[in-house]
Amino acid sequence: GILALAVAPGFDANRFPNVPDERQRNRAVTDTYEPGSTFKVVTVAGALETGLITPSTRYTLPYQIQVADRKIHDAERRGTETMTVHDILTRSSNVGVVTIAEALGKDRISRWIDRFGFGHRTGVEFPGETKGIVLPADRWSGSTIGNVPIGQGIAVTPLQMVAAYGALANDGVWVQPHLVDRVGNQKAEEPKRRRILTTQTARMMRRMLRDVVEEGSGTAAQVPGYRIAGKTGTAAKPDERGGYSNYQYVASFVGFVPAKDPRLVILVTVDEPRGAIWGGVVAAPAFAEIAKFALQYLEVPPD
């Protein structure tokens, strides 16, 4: 199975006492961010697993819906459309995901967030790991179901997100991320594994995420000769007034390759990109470059 791995070097602060604190932490395990649309897989996978939907289930969706005191709309203005669940994920419809979330309900969504490992440390062998910020269901307001399912109002670490997508790549089995292969002549302790989705659900998610890259918002992540499965994300950053910034964003892309028989899970996050802000424009091309190099290095044959 795939072992989610953060690509970040260790750092010996005792050897370099004058180096600023910024250099002394592994951002993949210590820093949190609001993931935006990459988090939508939790709601969609949970609804698929419970039998509430299939990829071909259809919804009639307006451009904007009211959720308690908030108005939720899609990124691009459009008229009322009929979309399948497949369309909702590949086109990253906020209204579509929130509509599915409302049918699923806050208690089940909260359980799926927990099941995917958010709100918990992964247990990777690296100091300073944080568990993120996840609001329990009994503290949700009326509008929470309109923002958490689309990746707002929740904070995750990059490694948590990689591990979650690793579970989709591993046919529904979450694998504890780890760095240590052996200590001296002794093999390190085997990482923990737990099944969170059926193989069927994981493969349905993989097919839809593949189409995100082939025909949706993630086309810039394509690597010639390989099929990629992944998701873009663009999230406004919280500001000091308790709202969201109009000009500071986190752009991201997370995916795995080859899509049919994955060998690598890669996450790219760009903090406060300048010019373009969209994950599909800013982060997806970097994913493609990293994946291309890694696939050649590991001598993974084209699929």
d(CA 106, CA 109): 5
d(C-alpha 128, C-alpha 8), whole Å: 13
Helix/strand/coil (H/E/C) assignment for every residue in 231-273: EEEEEEEECCCCCEEEEEEEEEEEEEECCCCCCEEEEEEEECC
- Residue 16: other Cβ atoms inside 10 A: 11
Strand 229-238, strand 182-183: pairing: unpaired
Q: Which of 37, 92, 217, 252 is the catalytic position?
A: 37
Give yes or no for a contact between 71 and 65, defined as CB atoms under 8 angstroms apart. yes
> What are the beta bridge partners of residue 269?
252
Contact in structure between 287 and 268 (CB atoms under 8 Å): yes
d(CA 303, CA 292): 13
Report yes or no: 81 and 61 within 8 Å, Cβ to Cβ.
Answer: yes
Chain-centre distance for alpha carbon 226: 21
Alpha-carbon distance 158 to 10, whole Å? 16
Pair 212, 239: CB distance under 8 Å? no
Pair of tokens at residue 241: 């007034």
Q: In one letter, which amino acid is 227?
A: R
Active site residue 252: no
Q: Which residues are catalytic?
A: 37
